[in-house]
Structure 1
Amino acid sequence: MIIFPAIDLRGGNCVRLKQGKFQDENIYSKNPVEIAKKWEEQGAKYIHVVDLDGALEGVSKNSHVIKEIIKATNIPVQLGGGIRKIKDIENVLSYGVSRVILGTSAVKIDGFVEEALKTFGEKIAVSIDAKKGYVAVDGWTKTSDIKAIDFAKKLEGLGLKTLIYTDIAKDGMLLGPNFKELKELKENINIDLIASGGISKKEDVEKLSTLGLYGAIIGKALYTGDIALEEL
């Protein structure tokens, strides 16, 4: 199972939010590039970057930082946040991003995922952010009436190879992941599944690995020191 250290960008800083609430922000570093280098030094094989400004406003304000992270490290970077047009995908791939994560756009824009998958194939991942089993959109501020598991099956049918599943209620709370929903998803779809949200201790990671997941994204617990990346 690949461990993805998360770098969430807002206003050029490395931050963490609680349950995706923009008013509940902690700035962990004003130098995200140094953080990326640190995770690589500690053995990370892949970095997960989220452009929070992009997620909220649909426009990236952190492209310079993302380019710097890619330049300063030798491991692949996957990026999500505010990618809502084919042109946006082309843009971030031109920075050297290895995999592009679609979120809100995958739910709201008809035909967008199909077009993205046809054009860019395995370079596309989709992030399902869920609240009580339903898909949330617009930087997690709204919940749709689409069931996460149904949406995941639909995406698999379109040819998606990588799916990220975040339980919003758990995110940034250090309360442990939603093992029940992750297990159910894993049993119902046959694509690479990455868990995100609430991973707070080494035991969580061990338990996730028994589910046969492709990866786990860890954010806050790395910044608070509750999990040591090198140890994992």
Structure 2
Amino acid sequence: MKIYPAIDIRDGKCVRLMQGELQRSTEYGDPIEMAKRWEDEGAYYLHVVDLDAAFSGSFVNQDIITKLVQSIKIPVQMGGGVRTKEDIRVRLDDAGISRVILGTVAVEDPELVKWAVARYKDRIAVGIDAKEGCVAIKGWAENSNIDPVSLAKDMHKMGVANIIYTDISKDGMMEGPNLDKTEMIVKETWMNLIASGGISSLDDIRKVRETGACGCIVGRALYDGAFTLQDAMKAAK
């Protein structure tokens, strides 16, 4: 199982939110320097979220993210505000992102998902973000009333191989991940699932590994020093 250090970008800064709420954010400095740090500490892959794009739909952080990708040698997956073919193309072809994450459009425009998978194959992932048992969309601001497992199955039928599952209630709270739902999605779809939200200890990482997830995104626990990236990677093996 891979560990994905998380870099969330807002107003050009690396931040961490609690439950996706902008007013509950903590700054952690320059995202490019943070990317270099995680690479230096042995990360195999980075998880980047453009929070400004997620809430506004505009790729205002393109220059910063392009420089971030160019400053390191490891691959980057990125989500936030990806809603059109041009959004996908700009991130993958121009900015050099290795894998782009589709969120809201997976619910609102499944034809775009089909187009993206046909053109970019494994460079496409779908983010399934759940709040109170249903998929949340538009920067986690709206509830779709769609079951996360049902959406995962639909994406699997379209040829999507990679999903990122986040329990919003757990995100940034350091209270442990939603293991039951994570395991359910893995067993129902056997897709490559990357779990996100709530990781607070090395034991949490071990438990995520036992669900069959192929990856685990870690944010606040790394930034606050709950454990090191090296220890997280060891727990994931």
Deviations 1:153-173 (A, max 9, x none): 000010101000000000000
1:10-38 per-position Cα deviation (integer Å, ceiling 9, x unaligned): 01000011000111111111x11110000
Partner SS, residue 151 of structure 1: helix
> How far apart, CA to CA, are the structure 2 residues paired with 1:147 and 1:213?
19
The answer for the alignment partner of 1:133 in structure 2 is 133
What is the correspondence of 1:131-170 to structure 2 with a 5 Å cutoff? 131-170=131-170
1:208 equivalenced with 2:208 (yes/no)? yes
One-letter amino acid matched to 2:40: E
TM (norm. structure 1) is: 0.97
TM-aligned CA deviation for residue 113 of structure 1: 0.9
**1:66 counterpart letter in structure 2:** I
Q: Give the AA of the match of 2:205.
A: V
The offset of 1:108, in angstroms, is 1.4
Q: Distance in 2 between matches of 1:115 and 1:225?
A: 41
- Residue 132 of structure 1 deviates from its aligned partner by 2.4
Is the counterpart of residue 37 in structure 1 residue 39 in structure 2?
Answer: no
Partner Cα distance (1:174, 1:84) in 2:
30
Amino acid at match of 1:123: R
> 2: distance between equivalents of 1:225 and 1:135?
31
| Displacement of 1:209 | 1.1
Task: State the match for 1:60 in structure 2.
Answer: 59
2:193 alignment partner, SS class: strand
Q: Is the 8 A contact 1:15 1:28 kept in 2?
A: yes
| SS of residue paired to 1:9 | strand
Moved more, 107-116 or 81-90: 107-116
Percent identity of paired positions between Structure 1 and Structure 2: 46
When structure 1 is superposed on structure 2, of 190-199 and 110-119 the one drifting more is: 110-119
What is the CA distance between 1:88 and its match in structure 2?
0.9
The corresponding residue for 1:23 is 23
Structure 1 outlier segments of 4+, above 2 Å: none
- Tell me the residue number matched to 2:235: none
Q: What is the CA distance between 1:109 and its match in structure 2?
A: 2.1
The equivalent of 1:71 in structure 2 is: 70
What residue in structure 1 maps to residue 111 of structure 2? 111
Partner of 1:80: 79
RMSD of aligned residue pairs (Cα, Å):
0.9
Cα distance in structure 1, aligned partners of 2:207 and 2:224: 21
Flag structure 2 segments of 5+ consecutive residues without an equivalent: 233-237
